[in-house]
């Protein structure tokens, strides 16, 4: 029983690590994306930079994924 709870908690922690960071990334990207769409409409030459800026918050979810993997490796 205790083992099952332990495994469940590990799985939940891993899910939280990636889930919460994914939500945070999505929120940031939605704001950056909207702002950049406006900027690119005014100045199309900003498109390249805009794509890079939209990709910047993805670091959060990637770190979330790394942490999730580390958590699932716990015994």
Q: Which of 59, 71, 74, 75 binds another protein (CB under 8 A)?
A: 59
Helices (H), ranges, the chain: 2-42, 47-55, 58-72
Query: Does residue 69 interact with another protein by CB under 8 A?
Result: yes
Of 3 and 75, which has the nearer Cβ to another protein? 75
Residue 16 phi, psi (nearest 5)? -65, -40
Distance of CA 26 to the CA centre of its chain: 7
Query: Does residue 56 interact with another protein by CB under 8 A?
Result: yes
Which residues sit at the interface with another protein, rule CB under 8 A?
48-49, 51-52, 55-56, 58-59, 61-63, 65-66, 69, 73
């Amino acid at each position: 029983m205790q083992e099952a709870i332990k495994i469940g908690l590990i799985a939940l922690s891993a899910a939280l690590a990636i889930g919460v960071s994914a939500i945070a990334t999505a929120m940031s990207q939605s704001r950056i994306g909207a702002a950049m769409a406006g900027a690119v409409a005014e100045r199309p030459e900003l498109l390249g930079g805009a794509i890079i800026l939209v990709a910047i918050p993805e670091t959060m979810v990637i770190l979330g994924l790394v942490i999730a993997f580390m958590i699932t490796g716990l015994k």
